[in-house]
Structure 1
Amino acid sequence: MREQENDNSAGLIKEACEALKKSAPPPVASALMPIQKTIQHFATLLANVLHLEVEVVDNQLLRIAGTGPYGQGFGQVPASNTVLLREVLEKGQEVVIFDSRQNSLCLECTQRESCRERGFVGVPVMYQERCLGVISLVAVNIEQLRHLREHTRMFIEYIRHISSLLAANLSVFPRKESAIDPLLQSLAQCVDQAVIVCDRQGKIVLINVRAQMLLGAHADLRLEKLRVVGVPARERTYQVQVGNQRWRITGQVRETEEGTVLAFSDARSEQRDGPGAEAAPVIKSLIGDSSAMRKLKRLIARIASSPSSVMILGESGTGKEVVARAVHRLSERHDKAFVAINCAAIPENLLESELFGYAKGAFTGAAPGGKRGLIQIAHGGTLFLDEIGDMPSGLQARLLRAIESREVMPIGASVPVPVDIRIISATHQNLENHIRDGSFREDLYYRLNVIPLWLPPLRERDGDIELLLKHFLTLHAGRVGRLQPGVSPQALRMLRGHRWPGNVRELSNLVEYLINIVPEGEIIDSALLPPVFHSSWLSEPPPVMAQPVQETRCESTEKARLKSVEKTLIEEALMRTRNKKQVADELGIGVATLYRKIKKYGLAG
């Protein structure tokens, strides 16, 4: 009887299990697997940019993409190390681990002792309150762990932004092969490096905006390997050919089954300016590859070893001191002092003692032991006299004598001091006009202007905006300690169209400002640019036409958007200052126009 009851119980349990199977909801289909190739491309790109390993799984723990030790077994549940991935899926929240072998979450893992993961950051891919999968960043060595620790918050925000973009695009793009490129293109625009993706035949299938910024090119590139250089092992130099122009780019490359992904932050043109022209030398401090800058670099390389005086001419903010330092570094004096002095920044009564120094007891209040002048300090090296046009006429004669005699007479001294210096001067003024009005000595001018170097304004350096923009984004993001943001195509167009009256200095200041105000994980959009870049939108409206024109819905919406931007710009300017003239100048409009617009938008003036 007992055996019959057991048989009946077993039958009931079996039937109950079958019923449960029938009533249970079917497994949710993977939303990520249909675009696996796209996600794998992006995982490879992400690993290059963040210098970490990447693993992507779906909501069934099937590995969708990965790099390094996670770059295989796609479409399968990983054989080990799934505890943390399950935690992210179940909670739908980020998980951060820096002590993988000791952390409480890892205690139940059977591979804990042999685990290679030093650090883990997992971010869920959420869409309509449903977790579609996990994007994880993994540190597998001490260097990567340190990198992950230092930038955890930025990485989480960054991956969170990427995952939301990925989830949103899943509902837009159809599940077919032709939809891969648009989705990958959208993802590639979010990273802060230039990106080129090639298929197995070497054909470019994707190039993001940043790569176009550096190369000034479109998707008709041909990528070919040039040579492998230096360390680390993944650093390589490639050659990119655009028509007849070639570029040498240095970055990180990953080979996949589908092709090649290249992420880079620097591109150097190998184009010559004409038949038989020599290639421009590499001067890292001089950012730019326009024709004018290539000519300047070649000239600097030729004259650097000469002892002759150099005069750098150019508008304010063009980087004249950068050029002076480049000349010094390329000269035989590179291991000696480079002494810079701004003749316009030091009061006239102090400039003489600063330049020539003074002897012991030369005047009341003098240092007990006297003081060496800057000319003496520059002995054996280079003296850079910036804004030489503002040097007082009384000192010009003493400087001329020092140049001709190769010696200086400190104030109060009776014996001259021999000096060996090379003088580089700079000015944004027209010294020939100063010579005519008698404020600058003609003989000194010809002594200083032995080798003139003309530094072009930024508006005449075609194509250099993108290179300088990248340089300053990297520089200021590193200083502030933020992840380098991208730049939207519209913002880039506005930067290219700007006249840059403040030249390179203005661009550097603008980028530093943008780095501080752009939300982390976002890109620099045109709305973040200062009002001067929107001045064309704030100009006076054209005269009203006799016959009104019927507006389309699109035109009406665009006008409403521009009015909203205009109102916001004026409000922000009024918050910074109540000086109407200053606000009008900042916005690039007249004071009367400003008052009219304040009244139009009902703003508190």
Structure 2
Amino acid sequence: MPIQKTIQHFASLLANVLHLEVEVVDNQLLRIAGTGPYGQRFGQVPASNTVLLKEVMEKKQEVVIFDSRQNLLCQDCTQRESCRERGFIGVPIIHQQRCLGVISLVAVNITQLRHLREHTSMFIEYIRHISTLLAANLAVLHRKEPRLDPLLQRLVAGIDRAVILCDRQQNVVLINDRAREMIGPGEDALLWQNAVLESSPRQQTFLLRAGERRWRITGQFSEAENGAFLLPSACLPAEREGEAPEPAVPTIKNLIGESVAIRKLRRLVGRIAGSPSSVMILGESGTGKEVVARAIHRLSPRHDKAFVAINCAAIPENLLESELFGYAKGAFTGASPGGKPGLLQVANGGTLFLDEIGDMPQGLQARLLRAIESREVMPVGSSVPVPVDIRIISATHQNLEAHIREGHFREDLFYRLNVIPLWLPPLREREGDVELLINHFMDWHARRIGRRWAGVSPEVMKMLCAHSWPGNVRELSNLVEYLINIVPEGEVIDSALLPPVFHSHYFHAPAPKASGEGCAGVTTVADSAQSNLKSVERTLIEEALQRTRNKKQVADELGIGVATLYRKIKKYGLA
């Protein structure tokens, strides 16, 4: 018990790495540490499972159970029928032929049981190694020894994964060799003596400061009673060599990335958010235009009012007018008896987001222009205008200036909407962001679906970084969701799970640059490959249509809108 906090810290770390519950007891059956349902009653004998624990201690060897309710060892247990444990691996902690206690891995659900069955041998060898380290350190530690770093260092060094440990003040107390390799080989160990990990629950990345050096790290973060630990999955320098530190940028939820373009975008959003002026967001499909629009609203003085979004390409022309401007009582056959307020009225005091503004019918363009200029709307069938106070944010992937020349979009409306233009870079131009986005979407989709993931192999990461991503961030998110659904739980995603298009593009892509690691050092698209984007897009749509003729399902799979899908089907002659 004198070193209970250290063992508990390590048990939490072990559970995160192995995706199982962990329990540690001493040779008096007192629970020293545990996670999940075993994370309580420390210093007491567990209420259940003592039969298996005693078996491990008496035989001084491993015990593996996959059928707790039917196994002979459990027949005399009074709680056998109500037992929540589906599987059990117990490994003794042996020192000089004496059993000091037991480390056990427990599966409490079907998913964990399958995980336990598939990796039994590996888990046993792993825990044997950990128990040997633990026994060796327990033997030399004095009970009143105030410093626990030697024990933690030996335990964490035995984990085959990058680990950064912090105290309650988030001062870094330990970085293992795997983490050092990820951050940068050859870094002076003395550099970490005053390192600090700065984090926020709202951020997906963490800033590691050591002396004058800074890194941005993505990974799984967990807090324990006496500190916290981070399991890094990606690391990038916070500043480029020779560049002055960038000014602080606002936190924008879901706008993940540390590329120069994204950091400039965040700063610009922070500057314009407080203005009432109209904003037009430009960029390819799937770049995250609505994410930016919502960020502008959240950072504005209108944040406590409504944010109303409408896709001008998704609503039929005959309904779009009544949706935008509303209608009076009895305006037309089938209208609601009491009339209906339009979205411009619903957004009064807040923000109206008009997505795919380039697809708005010309007749409605004139009415929208009048509403913007007069700050009032005229519902369909009404003769009384309704005053509104709204900020309009519009978005399009189209070239509106070309539409104006062709007579498809009003020039005066364009200048009213395009007061503050924002350009969203395509994913292929966001150097280093693919890896951060992959880890973000892995974590987000895994939590949403209710599954655990162990990570992505280096080969897969390079293949994904080399991809051109014609569907941008939306395409990446959909791919990650697909992978989370098909990968066996707890296993690393390897290249065999990727669709064929990624293999063909990767093997024809240019080799990575000599300098740099990870995505930051991979040439994503060569100039000669730019001309192939259209053929790639056509192939993706054609393959999806071969799997199903359901246009909504195809659009969702490709990460584009249904209206966009129809345009591209017509463009490539795939009807």
Note whether the superposition's TM-score is higher than 0.5: yes
Question: Per-residue displacement from partner, 1:71-112 (whole Å, max 9, x unpaired)?
Answer: 9xxxxxx9x985323457686323769xxxx9952689xxxx
Matches within 5 A, 1:228-243: 239-241=208-210
One-letter code of the match for 2:222?
Q
The answer to whether the aligner puts 1:300 opposite 2:269 as a matched pair is: yes
In structure 1, C-alpha distance between the alignment counterparts of 2:303 and 2:233, rounded to whole Å: 28
In structure 2, C-alpha distance between the alignment counterparts of 1:51 and 1:371, rounded to whole Å: 54
The answer to whether the aligner puts 1:309 opposite 2:313 as a matched pair is: no
The answer to whether the aligner puts 1:329 opposite 2:298 as a matched pair is: yes
Match of 1:207 among 171, 174, 178: 178
One-letter code of the match for 1:123?
I
Deviation at 1:48, TM superposition (A): 5.1
Match of 1:45 among 2, 10, 13: 13
In structure 1, C-alpha distance between the alignment counterparts of 2:24 and 2:339, rounded to whole Å: 67
In structure 2, C-alpha distance between the alignment counterparts of 1:42 and 1:512, rounded to whole Å: 31
Deviation at 1:158, TM superposition (A): 3.8
**500-509 vs 47-56, greater mean Cα deviation:** 47-56
Deviation at 1:483, TM superposition (A): 1.4
Residue of structure 2 in register with 1:595 after alignment: none
Residue of structure 2 in register with 1:123 after alignment: 89
In structure 2, C-alpha distance between the alignment counterparts of 1:84 and 1:93, rounded to whole Å: 9
In structure 1, C-alpha distance between the alignment counterparts of 2:244 and 2:506, rounded to whole Å: 45
TM-score when scaled to structure 2?
0.65
TM-score when scaled to structure 1?
0.62
406 and 66 in structure 1: CA distance in 2 versus 1, 3 angstrom threshold: same
Deviation at 1:523, TM superposition (A): 1.3
The answer to whether the aligner puts 1:92 opposite 2:92 as a matched pair is: no
One-letter code of the match for 1:220?
E
401 and 447 in structure 1: CA distance in 2 versus 1, 3 angstrom threshold: same
The answer to whether the aligner puts 1:226 opposite 2:196 as a matched pair is: yes
Residue of structure 2 in register with 1:83 after alignment: 51
One-letter code of the match for 1:205?
N
In structure 2, C-alpha distance between the alignment counterparts of 1:575 and 1:380, rounded to whole Å: 43
Residue of structure 2 in register with 1:548 after alignment: none
Matches within 5 A, 1:568-587: none
The answer to whether the aligner puts 1:341 opposite 2:341 as a matched pair is: no
Residue of structure 1 in register with 2:111 after alignment: 154
Identity %: 58
Deviation at 1:432, TM superposition (A): 1.0
The answer to whether the aligner puts 1:480 opposite 2:446 as a matched pair is: no
Consecutive unaligned residues of structure 1, counting only runs of 5 or more, are 1-38, 72-77, 109-116, 127-132, 139-147, 540-572, 580-585, 587-605
Q: Secondary structure at the match of 2:231?
A: strand
Residue of structure 1 in register with 2:360 after alignment: 391
The answer to whether the aligner puts 1:407 opposite 2:376 as a matched pair is: yes
In structure 1, C-alpha distance between the alignment counterparts of 2:164 and 2:127, rounded to whole Å: 23
Deviation at 1:208, TM superposition (A): 5.8
375 and 104 in structure 1: CA distance in 2 versus 1, 3 angstrom threshold: farther
Matches within 5 A, 1:104-115: 104-105=76-77
One-letter code of the match for 1:512?
E
Residue of structure 2 in register with 1:529 after alignment: 498
206 and 423 in structure 1: CA distance in 2 versus 1, 3 angstrom threshold: same
Deviation at 1:430, TM superposition (A): 1.1
The answer to whether the aligner puts 1:188 opposite 2:160 as a matched pair is: yes
Matches within 5 A, 1:453-472: 453-472=422-441
336 and 535 in structure 1: CA distance in 2 versus 1, 3 angstrom threshold: same
One-letter code of the match for 1:438?
G
Q: CA RMSD in A?
A: 5.0
Consecutive unaligned residues of structure 2, counting only runs of 5 or more, are 1-6, 40-45, 93-100, 137-152, 509-542, 550-556, 558-575
201 and 303 in structure 1: CA distance in 2 versus 1, 3 angstrom threshold: closer
Contact 2:20–2:105 (Cα < 8 Å) also in 1:
no
Q: Secondary structure at the match of 2:176?
A: strand
Higher gyration radius (CA): 1
Q: Secondary structure at the match of 1:287?
A: coil
In structure 2, C-alpha distance between the alignment counterparts of 1:208 and 1:157, rounded to whole Å: 29
In structure 1, C-alpha distance between the alignment counterparts of 2:210 and 2:295, rounded to whole Å: 29
One-letter code of the match for 1:279?
A
In structure 2, C-alpha distance between the alignment counterparts of 1:418 and 1:492, rounded to whole Å: 53
Deviation at 1:157, TM superposition (A): 3.7
Matches within 5 A, 1:13-28: none
In structure 2, C-alpha distance between the alignment counterparts of 1:292 and 1:228, rounded to whole Å: 23
The answer to whether the aligner puts 1:492 opposite 2:461 as a matched pair is: yes
Question: Per-residue displacement from partner, 1:439-498 (whole Å, max 9, x unpaired)?
Answer: 111111111011111111111112211221122112211222211231111111111111
406 and 342 in structure 1: CA distance in 2 versus 1, 3 angstrom threshold: same
